[in-house]
Amino acid sequence: MAVGDCALLGWLGICRSPPGPCRSRRNHRGAFEMTTPTTPAAVRVAFEHDAEPMGFDFFGVPVRDTAGFSFDTDPTRQVFDVSITIVRNELFFDLPKAIRFAMTVNDGPYTIPGFGTIGEEQGLCMPMRPLTEFTLKSTYVPVAYNIKARKIGWRTNIKNQGRNGWTAAGVTGKFVNTNAEDVDRPVLLDAVGLPMFPDKFKVKPNMGTASAAGPVSPPIPWQAGYRVERQGGFVLRFRQYEPVSFEPLLK
């Protein structure tokens, strides 16, 4: 058992060990085995804030802009999550259930017992885990469920922009202004890799002169769930986690 698990059990009033790291796993097993599956679940809430990388899609493929080029830097965003941990005694640790729900999001509105309802894909189910060692003869197993709730949901939104594009003749090059001068920032792109403001930019190949930009050639086969949407400019929006029904999760 990790020290963090001991701390959680202590917070729940279950650990019988003296202050400091727990040195006797029997304390936890004994405490849980005195209860029954009908004992109300214990809960814990934490608030998390971090910078999250967004450089890979659902399949682990590096994300590219709609012109087909890598981003200058790995995209990140600031996120805020409410982490809800529910601990309850169960007759056994359900491995198929743990595999089924690990790192999935809710495919529709879901009511977290005692907390209320979250919207579609606002909840991410972290891997469920037993909080103590147990044997096949254990009376009950304390199992922790952890759902991370996020207001903006768990799909990735990346501003669709880049420094490289295509000419109308299908040749790649870097974006320049109408005077064929380098630009100092990435250029916003539309769904086919053209500048959102085509009258302000051209494409200059490594060998040749600047000319009008053209669409990506050949068209990029976008991954499943990968869409280009306009939200005050074009963004790349795609799933990072599989959506499933959460209804059986805490039954």
> What is the pLDDT tens value at each position of the chain, 251 positions in all?
444 555 544 444 444 444 444 444 444 443 334 345 556 678 889 999 988 888 777 677 778 888 888 887 777 888 999 999 999 999 999 999 999 999 999 999 999 888 889 999 999 999 999 998 988 888 889 999 999 999 989 988 888 899 999 998 889 999 999 999 999 999 998 888 899 898 999 999 988 899 999 988 666 655 444 566 666 567 887 788 999 999 999 98
Q: Are 72 and 183 in contact (CB under 8 A)?
A: no
**pLDDT at residue 37, as a whole number:** 56
Q: Which residue has the tokens 């399949």?
A: 59
Question: In this structure, are residues 240 and 154 in contact, taking their beta carbons and an 8 Å threshold?
Answer: yes
Q: Are 139 and 33 in contact (CB under 8 A)?
A: yes
pLDDT value at residue 82: 95
| CA–CA distance, 115 with 131 (Å, rounded to integer) | 22
pLDDT at 17: 45
C-alpha to C-alpha distance for 67 and 4, rounded to whole angstroms: 46
**Burial category of 41 from C-beta neighbours within 10 Å (exposed 0-12, middle 13-18, buried 19 and up):** middle
What global pTM score does this model have? Answer: 0.71
What does the pLDDT read at residue 224?
Answer: 43
Return the pLDDT at 11: 43
Joined together, the tokens standing for residue 55 give 């450089």
pLDDT at residue 144, rounded to an integer: 94
The label of the residue with tokens 């909080």 reads 131
Nearest one of 164, 159, 197 to 178, comparing CA atoms: 197
Task: Record the tokens describing residue 8, joined without a space.
Answer: 């959680």
Give CA separation, 63 vs 47, 69, 88, 155, in Å.
Answer: 29, 9, 39, 13
